[in-house]
């Protein structure tokens, strides 16, 4: 005998409230072991493989690939315990996973260490048998569906669908409906027990948009009737002369990495009174030192050192002299929190968008160690395998926008940090060197800082020290 347990999308940490299904790793009818990864999801911070805390047979999956689910929404159901008539011989040979109440683990790497069982199918006739009721904390037993059906309704204990509150789990769904004037009571949810998902609200918004488009193209649409009464989900912009703007423009949802970046940058601009100072520096000597390091042979040889690694090491030395910039502001307590360690973030552009991996304890590393960690994190970023922990906790950010072929910028501080150093491209320019005009390798450095943590004198001193180290790398010998 078996019982059917419902596995819901767990809290993935770091304040994440939803995730998008990227790829299912199991099919309906597969046998899964405890803590075996069953689905790959994309959050606003990283790609994560989610393990199932139950061992048994997958009886249903909820959500197609590309569907966005809130935390707490059902992912799949598992028949725990060997199905009646199941044997370890024949075409379905192999021992079935032991039944369990679940490990309670969330992310891969924190499981029990049990090896993942080989995926195998159980014939439907062995699943179509009566089973006992599940505990109240899990879903009660239903006949295991043979076919995958994202909208199969698994009744939750003590659930009532007759009357009561609107069946919405996610506050994000409620907010999205409220912002677009969508009446949730008029929607039929596609989730279990009529649960209204974000996809249902998005569908209602699109329907309203199509209605508004048809209305706007009619002659009477140019009248000055209230647009919001006809199409609450469409924001119709008006030109200065009062003519309505085109309504067939592409609308791209702000979600995933793009949404997280938008929220963080908006919060930074809203909360932080930032200021920017910049300086041009002669990087000729720094480039020569790097070339000498990488050309070394024999006992002094080592891994290649990048320009970004040298600049990161300069930053840690500068922060040791100007610790005010390695801090954050506690607005509720009205206190500046000065941080003892430097966790250096660096901006990396990937196919998924801009991410900022963090080099932990950068203050305790040399240029070679920082360079190796930057290379490792960059590769993880490019393959989409960075964990949320590797993308958070930074105290200062280094932004090398020179790789895009630009000279300068005014970077936005990575909230809740207090400063960010921007580095432009290094290129030959005319420069006065030792009293004579010469062609030198010049770079523009810009520092954006939170004016609450320090004044311009401190910020200027930090930037000047960084520029001095770029122009005369021997200055760093004082701190090595």
Residue 359 CB-density burial (10 A; 0-12 exposed, 13-18 middle, 19+ buried): buried
Q: Which residue has the higher pLDDT, 169 or 424?
A: 424
Residue 94 CB-density burial (10 A; 0-12 exposed, 13-18 middle, 19+ buried): exposed
Question: With contact defined as beta carbons under 8 Å apart, do 116 and 37 qualify?
Answer: yes
Count CB-CB contacts under 10 A for residue 418: 29
Split at pLDDT 50, 70, 90, the class of 351 is: confident
Per-residue model confidence as pLDDT tens digits over 111-158: 344 444 444 445 444 444 444 444 434 444 444 444 443 443 333 334
Per-residue model confidence as pLDDT tens digits over 287-335: 999 999 999 888 878 889 999 999 999 999 999 999 999 999 999 999 9
Cα distance between residue 54 and residue 34, in whole Å? 5
Instruction: Name the catalytic one among 92, 343, 455, 468.
Output: 455
Parallel, antiparallel, or unpaired for β 274-282 and 436-450? antiparallel
Question: With contact defined as beta carbons under 8 Å apart, do 94 and 88 qualify?
Answer: yes
pLDDT value of residue 145: 44
Place of tokens 């279990």: 192
Ranking 86-95, 195-204, 363-372 by mean pLDDT, the lowest is 86-95
Question: With contact defined as beta carbons under 8 Å apart, do 11 and 71 qualify?
Answer: yes
Cα distance between residue 74 and residue 59, in whole Å? 13
**Token pair of 9, please?**
């999308």
DSSP letters spanning 332-356: TTTEEEE-SS--EEE-EEETTEEE-
Alpha-carbon distance values, 131 to 146, 376, 433 (Å): 15, 49, 85
In the predicted model, what is the mean pLDDT of residues 389-412?
A: 92
Active site (annotated) includes residue 451:
yes
Mean residue pLDDT of the chain comes to 78
Active site (annotated) includes residue 455:
yes
**Token pair of 148, please?**
């995958």
pLDDT value of residue 245: 53
Count CB-CB contacts under 10 A for residue 150: 15
In the predicted model, what is the mean pLDDT of residues 431-458?
A: 96
In the predicted model, what is the mean pLDDT of residues 88-99?
A: 40
Split at pLDDT 50, 70, 90, the class of 1 is: low
Per-residue model confidence as pLDDT tens digits over 9-68: 887 765 667 888 888 999 988 999 988 999 988 876 677 888 898 889 899 999 888 888
In the predicted model, what is the mean pLDDT of residues 156-183?
A: 60
| Secondary structure of residue 331 in the 3-state scheme | coil
Taking Cα atoms as reference points, which of 26, 80, 27 lies closest to residue 49? 26
Q: Which residue has the higher pLDDT, 160 or 351?
A: 351
What Rg do the C-alpha atoms of the chain give, in angstroms? 29
DSSP letters spanning 47-71: EEEEEES--EEEEEE-S-TT-EEET
Question: With contact defined as beta carbons under 8 Å apart, do 137 and 54 qualify?
Answer: no
* pTM greater than the 0.85 cutoff: no
Cα distance between residue 390 and residue 386, in whole Å? 6
Task: Indicate whether 190 pLDDT > 50.
Answer: yes
Cα distance between residue 327 and residue 261, in whole Å? 21
**Token pair of 463, please?**
């930037």
Question: With contact defined as beta carbons under 8 Å apart, do 324 and 417 qualify?
Answer: no
Burial 272-282 (b: 16+ CB within 10 A, else e): bebebbbeebb
Question: Which of 154-163, 206-215, 288-297 has the largest mean confidence?
Answer: 288-297
Question: With contact defined as beta carbons under 8 Å apart, do 27 and 149 qualify?
Answer: no
Residue 245 CB-density burial (10 A; 0-12 exposed, 13-18 middle, 19+ buried): exposed
Residue ranges with strand state E in 230-385: 274-282, 327-330, 335-338, 344-346, 348-350, 353-355, 358-359
């Amino acid at each position: 005998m078996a019982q059917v347990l419902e596995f819901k999308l767990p809290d993935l940490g770091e304040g994440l409230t939803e995730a998008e299904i990227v790829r299912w790793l199991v099919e309906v009818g597969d046998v899964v072991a405890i803590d075996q990864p069953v689905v790959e999801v994309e959050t606003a911070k990283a790609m994560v493989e989610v393990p199932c805390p139950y061992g048994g047979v997958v009886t249903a999956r909820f959500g197609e690939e590309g569907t966005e689910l809130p935390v707490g929404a059902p992912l799949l159901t598992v028949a725990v315990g060997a199905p009646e008539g199941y044997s370890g011989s024949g075409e379905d040979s192999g021992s079935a996973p032991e039944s369990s109440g679940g490990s309670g683990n969330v992310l891969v790497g924190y499981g029990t260490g049990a090896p993942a069982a080989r995926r195998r199918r159980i014939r439907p006739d062995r699943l179509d048998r009566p089973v006992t009721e599940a505990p109240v904390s899990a879903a009660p037993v239903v006949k295991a569906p043979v076919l995958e059906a994202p909208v199969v309704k698994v009744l939750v204990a003590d659930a009532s669908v007759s009357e009561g509150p609107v069946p919405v789990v996610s506050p994000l769904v409620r907010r999205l409906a409220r912002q677009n004037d969508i009446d949730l009571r008029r929607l039929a949810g596609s989730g279990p027990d009529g649960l209204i998902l974000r996809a249902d609200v998005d569908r209602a918004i699109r329907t309203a948009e199509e209605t508004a488009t048809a209305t706007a193209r009619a002659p009477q649409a140019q009248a000055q009737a209230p647009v919001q009464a006809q199409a609450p989900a469409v924001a119709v912009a008006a030109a200065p002369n009062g003519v309505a703007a085109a309504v067939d423009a592409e609308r791209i949802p702000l979600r995933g990495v793009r949404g997280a970046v938008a929220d963080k940058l908006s919060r930074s601009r809203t909360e932080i009174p930032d200021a920017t100072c910049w300086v041009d520096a002669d990087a000729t000597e720094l480039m020569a030192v790097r070339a000498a390091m990488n050309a070394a042979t024999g006992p002094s040889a080592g891994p290649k050192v990048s320009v970004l690694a040298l600049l990161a090491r300069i930053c840690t030395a500068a922060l040791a002299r100007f610790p005010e910039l390695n801090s954050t502001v506690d607005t509720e307590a009205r206190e500046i929190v000065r941080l003892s360690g430097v966790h250096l973030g660096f901006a990396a552009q990937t196919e998924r968008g801009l991410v900022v991996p963090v080099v932990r304890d950068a203050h305790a590393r040399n240029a070679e160690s920082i360079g190796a960690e930057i290379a490792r994190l960059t590769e993880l970023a490019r393959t989409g395998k960075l964990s949320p922990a590797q993308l958070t906790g930074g105290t200062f950010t280094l932004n090398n926008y020179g790789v895009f072929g630009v000279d300068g910028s005014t970077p936005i501080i990575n909230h809740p940090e207090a400063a960010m150093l921007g580095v432009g491209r290094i290129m030959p320019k005319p420069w006065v060197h030792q009293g004579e005009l010469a062609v030198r390798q010049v770079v523009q450095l810009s520092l954006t800082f939170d004016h609450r943590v320090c004044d311009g004198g401190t910020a200027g001193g930090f930037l000047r020290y960084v520029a001095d180290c770029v122009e005369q790398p021997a200055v760093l010998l004082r701190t090595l």
